[in-house]
């Protein structure tokens, strides 16, 4: 029973364009959400988070949007850079449930 779902296993975008990664959840008790970035042969690293009392959080090129009524969050990366190519996981608290990840490829 996957309570956090990332339905797109992969995404490819051109350098300089926007990358939008999506995440859906089913448990209405989740109240804090995080995005992690993972390069091959490394552990995940924290990217950005959002509390359920907000609908947007921004940090440089990264913005996370939360739509509580739709149980949906998205990560926007603008502009995308080749170094952003990685697997992105969304996660939800309090149970720390992760989605399956989306592999982002940014082409030069």
Partner 1 sequence: NAGVTQTPKFQVLKTGQSMTLQCAQDMNHEYMSWYRQDPGMGLRLIHYSVGAGITDQGEVPNGYNVSRSTTEDFPLRLLSAAPSQTSVYFCASSPGTGESETQYFGPGTRLLVL
Among 12, 45, 67, 81, which residue sits at the site for partner 1 (rule: CB under 8 A)?
45
Q: Where are the beta strands (DSSP E) in the chain?
A: 4-5, 10-14, 19-25, 32-38, 45-51, 56-59, 62-67, 72-77, 86-93, 97-98, 102-107
User: Rounded distance, CA 58 to CA 97, Å?
Assistant: 22
Rg (C-alpha) for the chain, rounded Å, is: 13
Q: Is 97 in the site for partner 1 (CB under 8 A)?
A: yes
Q: Is 88 in the site for partner 1 (CB under 8 A)?
A: no
Q: Is 49 in the site for partner 1 (CB under 8 A)?
A: yes
- Chain residues 5-44 in contact with partner 1, contact rule CB under 8 A: 6, 9, 31-32, 36, 41-44
Which of the ranges 11-19, 55-63, 77-85, 95-103 carries the binding residues for partner 1, by CB under 8 A? Answer: 95-103
Q: What is residue 82's three-state secondary structure? A: helix
Q: Is 51 in the site for partner 1 (CB under 8 A)?
A: yes
User: Rounded distance, CA 15 to CA 2, Å?
Assistant: 32
Applying CB under 8 A, the residues found at the interface with partner 1 are 2, 4, 6, 9, 31-32, 36, 41-46, 49, 51, 89, 91, 93-101
């Amino acid at each position: 029973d996957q309570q956090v779902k990332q339905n797109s296993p992969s995404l490819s975008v051109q350098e300089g364009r926007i990358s939008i990664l999506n995440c859906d959840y089913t448990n209405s008790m989740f109240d804090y959400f995080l995005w992690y970035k993972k390069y091959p042969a490394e552990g995940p690293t924290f990217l950005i988070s959002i509390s359920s009392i907000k609908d947007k959080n921004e940090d440089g090129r990264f913005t996370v949007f939360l739509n509580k009524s739709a149980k949906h969050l998205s990560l926007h990366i603008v502009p995308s850079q080749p170094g952003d190519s990685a697997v992105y996981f969304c996660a939800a608290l309090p149970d720390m449930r992760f989605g399956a990840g989306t592999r982002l490829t940014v082409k030069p």
